[in-house]
Amino acid sequence: MKKIRERRDLAIHGAPPAFAAPLHVGRPNIGDREAFLSLVSEILERRWLTNNGPLVRRLEERIAALHGVRHCVAMCNGTIALEIAIRALGLKGEVIVPSFTFIATAHALHWQEIVPVFADIRGDTHTLDPDAVESMITPRTSGIIGVHTWGRCCDVEGLQAVADRHGLRLLFDAAHAFGCAYGGTRVGNFGACEVLSFHATKFFNTFEGGAVLTNDDALAEQMRLMRNFGFAGLDNVIHPGTNGKMTEVAAAMGLVNLDAVDGIVQANRRNHTLYKALLDPLPGVRVLDYDPAQDPNYQYVVAEIGRDCPVGRDRLLEALRAENVLARRYFWPGCHRMQPYRDLYPHAGLLLPVTERIAGEVLVLPTGTGLPEQDIRTLCAVVSTVVGASV
Ligand code: T4K
């Protein structure tokens, strides 16, 4: 601590940052390297590189089993998986989504000429508020997409009740929620289907990748067709489609990372506990909790920098950047303030007071298997010094 304080004083006179190399949010977790390379070697021997290969099928089976769901349809990324799910469910007109999400949730709709209508979230959960959703329904609304933000599941029953009352389709963007549960049931079993992302920065990655989980046999079959141009066999196209296929090398990464998943959760949980212990005592700083009963993957360490903190979130972000800590303001400023939605709905913020507040307070900190405990202690000492110096 004393060292950090001295360093802070020195920093004014051009001292080097606290970390020599940047500390990133989103550093990939990587499983057993030898096992991965051996699978890649197998792929090269087999000369079967993509198009529903044996490793993709093995990965789908294992992910479906892990989530206790009938179907896992693997795709090339989470965004295409969302687009295919949206199209397979026949969504049109308007679909209600949170603005407090990664831009892909909104773009997956807009890209298909469906209007994303932004509803507010709850301050305690950061997920869609079912009452706010209900207030945004119009005769043009065809569906709702809930986002399990940070891997903490939405109010699944509340949203299902709204969907049922109004005859709407409900699906979930579960990009953050690999392996997570709600009331003892794993994601994949809620709504019509749920979409995972396996992007490099995610808790579980396949370089790029994603999947749709569902218990609906017909929907799964339709999405399998759609991800492969609608081919039902050689020279036989029976459905409109696109190229959403996962490659074998991506599946190899997935299979190896699946074997490492328990260790990744443990490392993330350890990091989260340490961050909480070191940051929660600071005024106006609160690290978001996870409920151990919901099988969280702890992949995001989310600090809320409240109004009672002597230093604002953006000032803290800047101070951390100066020390080579590349923390992130997910999902600032909210989709409604990004293009094209900013021009389409210039006044959307008036209906999204909680989104606006939370987007201004959240700071996501580095975690994952590659982060030594000492780095977390140093990082938290930097935060503590900045907050202390601003009192
Ligand atoms: N829905 C939700 C709710 C999502 O959060 C996402 C993706 C999606 C849908 C769409 O799924 P995908 O189509 O992506 O499968 C990152 C990810 O690119 C994105 O996948 C993720 N959400 C989002 C929350 O985070 P950016 O714009 O922050 O990415 P970028 O390039 O700035 O990388 C983040 C950090 O990770 C940097 O500090 C660098 C570090 N990094 C990144 C990569 C790619 C590494 O250390 N190594 C790497 O290989 O969006």
Predicted local confidence at residue 12, as pLDDT: 46
Determine contact, residues 48/54, Cβ cutoff 8 Å. yes
CATH of the domain at 356: 3.90.1150.10
Q: Which domain holds residue 385?
A: 2-11+260-389
Measured from the Cβ of residue 124, the count of other Cβ atoms closer than 10 Å reads 9
**Which stretches of the chain drop beneath a pLDDT of 50?**
1-3, 5-6, 8-12
- pLDDT tens, residue by residue, 265-285: 999 999 999 999 999 999 999
- Out of 25, 148, 199, give the residue to mutate to test ligand 1, the one with the largest number of ligand atoms within 8 Å of its CB: 199
What H or E segment, with its residue span, contains residue 23?
strand 23-24
Determine contact, residues 329/364, Cβ cutoff 8 Å. yes
Predicted local confidence at residue 2, as pLDDT: 47
Q: Is 309 helix (H, G, I), strand (E, B) or coil?
A: coil
Determine contact, residues 305/285, Cβ cutoff 8 Å. yes
Looking at 211, 233, 256, the residue that finishes a domain is 256
Cα(353)–Cα(101) distance, integer angstroms? 15
In the structure encoding, which two tokens stand for residue 67, read together?
């989530």
Predicted local confidence at residue 15, as pLDDT: 77
**Does residue 58 sit in the same domain as residue 200?**
yes
**Does residue 251 sit in the same domain as residue 268?**
no
Looking at 201, 229, 256, the residue that finishes a domain is 256
Cα(330)–Cα(158) distance, integer angstroms? 25
Measured from the Cβ of residue 136, the count of other Cβ atoms closer than 10 Å reads 16
- The reply to whether 89 falls in a domain is yes
Q: Give, using CA atoms, the residue closest to atom 23 of ligand 1.
A: 102
- The reply to whether 235 falls in a domain is yes
For the chain, how far is it from start to end, CA to CA, in angstroms? 17
**Does residue 113 sit in the same domain as residue 247?**
yes
CATH of the domain at 243: 3.40.640.10
- The reply to whether 46 falls in a domain is yes
**Does residue 307 sit in the same domain as residue 218?**
no
Looking at 200, 225, 256, the residue that finishes a domain is 256
Q: What is the pTM of this model?
A: 0.96
Atom of ligand 1 nearest to the CA of 22: 38
Determine contact, residues 147/101, Cβ cutoff 8 Å. yes
Cα(364) to ligand 1 centroid in Å equals 13
**Does residue 265 sit in the same domain as residue 251?**
no
- The reply to whether 28 falls in a domain is no
Predicted local confidence at residue 195, as pLDDT: 98
Cα(201) to ligand 1 centroid in Å equals 5
